[in-house]
Copies of this chain bind each other. A is one copy, B any other.
Amino acid sequence: MKIAFQGEAGAYSEQAVFNYFGQVDTQPCESFDAVFDAVVSNKCESALIPIENSLAGSIHQNYDLLLRHNLHIVGEYFLRVQHCLIALPDVKKEDIKKAISHPQALGQCAAYLRSHNIKAEQVYDTAGSVKMLKESGARDTAAIASRRAAELYGMQILEEGIEDNPENYTRFLAIQHEVKIPEGESKTSIVFTLKNVPGALFKALSVFALRDIDLTKIESRPLQGSPWEYLFYIDFIGAEHEEITKRALDHLGEYAVMLRVLGSYPRFK
């Protein structure tokens, strides 16, 4: 079994793959596009994509990719993100003038970096920043990445848990070709568009409210090619094969211009 993820070996996404799937082969991919392609082309059985971070919000590109491809969401996983300040062996913390990492990791450590007078510089990946630092040999620079990335490249952890807010979780979705009927408490993810008329979203939400179905997420995205019209992504409690969910989706179909079920999957606890 081979699972695709975005980033270099040692990325948080790879850690999430091992936690969720157990000991599997992993396929590092340069971009989210490449992650989807790896599954679509059957190079990998499945992929784990980050969809939302508790601090930074949604990873919108992956919402767009879910819509563009015909894969199914079959699982979710929440990873607690702990950032490490990583340097070459023997470097001291007071020598660090610059930190390199992915923009989101830098943003999540902004207060820490400011208080230590460390300048932030964006690179494309967290684990990749550790590799780049090792190759450059710079002694005034630190990378911000996972413990696993530091260990993988034989680097020193100057400090662990430097994120400004400890409530830092990333939600991942497992995607694959085949639908899988979930057992136990489930979530369903859907995407739809509405006519641009007053009250349209209110009516759409009524199909859940009138059946006491609990929404766990709502997200709007611009509809490409139609400025200021929106796609709505909703997650709710329930599975597609359950009668109440079927009725709610039928009812939503009366208002929606487009409606697609992205998948039903066990709720992560």
- Chain A residues with CB under 8 Å of chain B are 52-57, 60, 103, 122, 124, 165, 167, 169, 198-199, 201-203, 205-206, 208-209, 212-222, 224-228, 230
Contacts and interface: CB of A to CB of B under 8 A. Distances in A.
B122 A227 contact: no
B199 A167 contact: no
Contacts of A199: 208-209, 212
A77 to B, nearest CB: 14
Given A54-B222, A57-B221, A222-B55, A201 B227 contact: no
Contacts of A224: 55, 165, 167
Contacts of A218: 201, 218, 220, 230
Contacts of A216: 228
A214 B228 CA distance: 14
Given A198-B208, A198-B212, A199-B209, 12 more contacts: A52-B222, A54-B222, A55-B222, A56-B222, A122-B124, A167-B225, A167-B227, A199-B212, A201-B205, A205-B205, A218-B218, A218-B230
Contact of A60 (B57, B214, B230): B57
Contacts of A222: 52-57
B54 A228 contact: yes
A45 B214 CA distance: 45
Which 4 A-B pairs rank lowest in CB-CB distance, beginning with the nearest? A202-B209, A54-B227, A199-B209, A198-B214
Contacts of A202: 202, 205-206, 208-209
Contacts of A55: 222, 224
Contacts of A198: 208-209, 212-215
Nearest to A33: B110
A116 B86 CA distance: 37
Contacts of A226: 167
Nearest to A103: B103
Contacts of A219: 220
A65 to B, nearest CB: 13
A84 B222 CA distance: 23
